[in-house]
Amino acid sequence: MQAVRINEAGLARDEWFERLKLFGLGSPAMLLILIILVVPVGWLFYVSFIGADGTFSLENYERMLKRKSYARIFQTTFEVSFLTTGLCILIGYPLAYFISGLPNRIANLCLITVLLPFWTSLLVRTYAWLVLLQKRGLVNEWAMSLGLWDEPIKIVHNMTGTLIGMVHIMLPFLILPVYGAMRAIDRDLMKAASNLGASPRRAFWTVFFPLTLPGLFAGSLMVFILCLGFFVTPAVLGGGKVIMVSMKIVSNIELFVNWGAASALGVVLLVATVAILWVASRFLNLERMTGGGH
Amino acid sequence: MFRWFRAPATETQITHGQRLWLYVFAVITMVLLVTPTLIVVPMSFSDSQYLEFPPETWSTRWYGHYFGSPEWMQATRTSFKAAFLTMLVATPIGVLAAYGLHCSKVRFIRAAFVLMITPMMVPVVLVAIGAFYAYVQLKILYTLTGLVLAHTVLALPLVVIVTGSALKSYDMSQEEAARSLGAPRWKAFLTVTLPQIRFAVVTSALLAFLTSFDEVVVAMFVSGGDNPTLTRNMFNALRDQIDPTIASISTIMILVTTGMMVLAQVFGQQKEPTKPKD
Q: What is the CATH number of the domain that holds B146?
A: 1.10.3720.10
Angle, helices B245-268 vs A104-119, to 10°: value is 140
Q: Is B230 within 8 Å of chain A by CB?
A: no
At residue B46, the 3 state secondary structure works out as: strand
- Whether residue A170 sits in one domain with residue A25: no
Residue where one domain finishes, among candidates B62, B87, B114: B62
Domain for residue B57, yes or no?
yes
Give me the pLDDT at residue B110, please.
84
Domain for residue B181, yes or no?
yes
How wide is the angle at C-alpha A97 spanned by C-alphas A174 and A132, nearest 5°? 55
Q: What is the DSSP-derived secondary structure letter of residue B274? A: P
Q: What is the CATH number of the domain that holds A245?
A: 1.10.3720.10
- Whether residue A233 sits in one domain with residue A158: yes
Cα distance between residue A126 and residue B40, in whole Å = 11
Closest to B157 (Cα-Cα) out of B206, B204, B106, B199: B204
- Whether residue B239 sits in one domain with residue B155: yes
Domain that holds residue B49: 2-62
Which one of B116, B162, B220 has the shortest CB-CB distance to A30? B116
- Whether residue B166 sits in one domain with residue B29: no
Q: Is B129 within 8 Å of chain A by CB?
A: yes
- Whether residue A140 sits in one domain with residue A33: no
Which one of B152, B220, B257 has the shortest CB-CB distance to A119? B257
Residue type, A210: P
- Whether residue B250 sits in one domain with residue B134: yes
Give me the pLDDT at residue B277, please.
46
Residue type, B148: V
Cα distance between residue A119 and residue B262, in whole Å = 11
Which one of B29, B43, B51 has the shortest CB-CB distance to A95? B29
Cα distance between residue A277 and residue A284, in whole Å = 10
Q: Which chain B residues are Cβ-neighbours of A24 within 8 angstroms?
A: 100
- Whether residue B92 sits in one domain with residue B33: no
Give me the pLDDT at residue A289, please.
52
Residue A69's CB: how many other CB atoms inside 10 A? 10
CA dihedral B41, B250, A126, A258 (to 10 degrees): -170
In angstroms, the Cα distances linking A4 to A1, A15, A153 are: 5, 16, 85
Q: Do A41 and B213 touch (CB under 8 A)?
A: no
Domain for residue A24, yes or no?
yes
Those residues whose C-beta lies under 8 Å from the C-beta of residue A87, and which sit 6 or more positions away, are A163, A167
Q: Is B202 within 8 Å of chain A by CB?
A: no
Q: Is B165 within 8 Å of chain A by CB?
A: yes
| Min Cα–Cα distance to chain B from A46, Å | 12
Question: Cα Rg for chain B, rounded, in angstroms?
Answer: 24
- Whether residue A207 sits in one domain with residue A253: yes
Asked if ipTM goes beyond 0.90, one says no
Give me the pLDDT at residue A244, please.
94
- Whether residue B88 sits in one domain with residue B57: no
Which one of B13, B127, B253 has the shortest CB-CB distance to A194? B13
Percentage, residues of chain A above pLDDT 90: 53
Residues 52 through 81 of chain A touching chain B, CB cutoff 8 Å: none
- Whether residue B43 sits in one domain with residue B83: no
Closest to B207 (Cα-Cα) out of B257, B139, B135: B257
Phi, psi of A191 (to 5 degrees): -60, -45
Taking CA–CA distances from B91, the nearest residue in chain A reads A29
- Whether residue B173 sits in one domain with residue B40: no
Is A22 a residue whose pLDDT tops 90? no
Domain for residue A155, yes or no?
yes
Cα distance between residue B11 and residue A179, in whole Å = 18
Residue where one domain finishes, among candidates B62, B97, B112: B62
In angstroms, the Cα distances linking B95 to A150, A292, B127, B168 are: 58, 14, 22, 13
- Whether residue B83 sits in one domain with residue B115: yes
Give me the pLDDT at residue A136, please.
81
- In what helix (H) or strand (E) does residue B265 lie, and over which residues does it extend? helix B245-268
Q: Which chain B residues are Cβ-neighbours of A91 within 8 angstroms?
A: 29
Cα distance between residue A241 and residue B108, in whole Å = 46
Give me the pLDDT at residue A231, please.
94
Is A210 a residue whose pLDDT tops 50? yes
Is A3 a residue whose pLDDT tops 90? no
Mean pLDDT of A229-252: 92
Q: Which chain B residues are Cβ-neighbours of A25 within 8 angstroms?
A: 96-97, 99-100, 104
Question: Confidence class of residue A1 from pLDDT cuts 50, 70 and 90?
Answer: low
Those residues whose C-beta lies under 8 Å from the C-beta of residue A288, and which sit 6 or more positions away, are A218
Give me the pLDDT at residue B278, please.
45
Question: Confidence class of residue A258 from pLDDT cuts 50, 70 and 90?
Answer: confident
- Whether residue A22 sits in one domain with residue A162: no
Domain for residue B274, yes or no?
no
Domain for residue A42, yes or no?
yes
Q: Which chain B residues are Cβ-neighbours of A110 within 8 angstroms?
A: 26, 30
Give me the pLDDT at residue A285, please.
63
- Whether residue A140 sits in one domain with residue A42: no
- Whether residue A162 sits in one domain with residue A27: no
The count of structural domains within chain B is 2
| CB pairs < 8 Å spanning A and B | 267
- Whether residue B131 sits in one domain with residue B249: yes
Give me the pLDDT at residue B273, please.
47
pTM of the model: 0.89
Q: Is A117 within 8 Å of chain B by CB?
A: yes
Q: Do A127 and B120 touch (CB under 8 A)?
A: no
Give me the pLDDT at residue B27, please.
94
| Min Cα–Cα distance to chain B from A131, Å | 7
- pLDDT, tens digit (0-9, with 9 covering 90-100), for A130-141: 888 988 888 888
Domain for residue B278, yes or no?
no
Cα distance between residue B243 and residue B13, in whole Å = 53
Q: What is the DSSP-derived secondary structure letter of residue B58? A: B
Give me the pLDDT at residue B260, please.
83
- pLDDT, tens digit (0-9, with 9 covering 90-100), for A98-131: 999 899 899 988 998 898 888 888 999 999 998 8
- Whether residue B81 sits in one domain with residue B58: no
- pLDDT, tens digit (0-9, with 9 covering 90-100), for B81-135: 999 999 999 999 999 999 998 988 777 888 898 899 999 989 999 999 999 999 9
Distance from the first to the final alpha carbon of chain A:
47
Domain for residue A172, yes or no?
yes
Give me the pLDDT at residue A257, please.
85
Half-sphere exposure of A246 (CA within 13 A, CB side): 27
Domain for residue B273, yes or no?
no
Which site among B53, B126, B186, B207 would you substitute to test the A interface, given the most A Cβ atoms closer than 10 Å to its Cβ? Answer: B126
Give me the pLDDT at residue B259, please.
87
Domain that holds residue A239: 59-289
Is A41 a residue whose pLDDT tops 90? yes
Domain for residue A228, yes or no?
yes
Domain for residue A294, yes or no?
no
Q: Which chain B residues are Cβ-neighbours of A168 within 8 angstroms?
A: 32-33, 36
List b or e across B13-30, with b for residues whose CB sees 16 or more CB atoms inside 10 angstroms: ebebeebeebeeebeebb
Which one of B30, B127, B231 has the shortest CB-CB distance to A123? B231
Residue type, A155: I
The count of structural domains within chain A is 2
Give me the pLDDT at residue A63, please.
85
Which regions of chain B are under pLDDT 70?
Answer: 1, 240-241, 268-278
- Report yes or no: B157 and B116 within 8 Å, Cβ to Cβ: yes
Those residues whose C-beta lies under 8 Å from the C-beta of residue B14, and which sit 6 or more positions away, are A200, B8
Cα distance between residue A85 and residue A92, in whole Å = 10
- Whether residue B15 sits in one domain with residue B97: no
Q: Is B7 within 8 Å of chain A by CB?
A: no
Domain for residue A54, yes or no?
no
- Whether residue A154 sits in one domain with residue A254: yes
- Whether residue A63 sits in one domain with residue A35: no
Domain for residue B276, yes or no?
no
Q: Is B94 within 8 Å of chain A by CB?
A: yes
Q: Do B10 and A269 touch (CB under 8 A)?
A: no
- Whether residue B79 sits in one domain with residue B38: no
Those residues whose C-beta lies under 8 Å from the C-beta of residue B160, and which sit 6 or more positions away, are A29, B94, B97, B98, B101, B113, B116, B117
Question: Confidence class of residue A269 from pLDDT cuts 50, 70 and 90?
Answer: very high
Give me the pLDDT at residue B244, please.
85
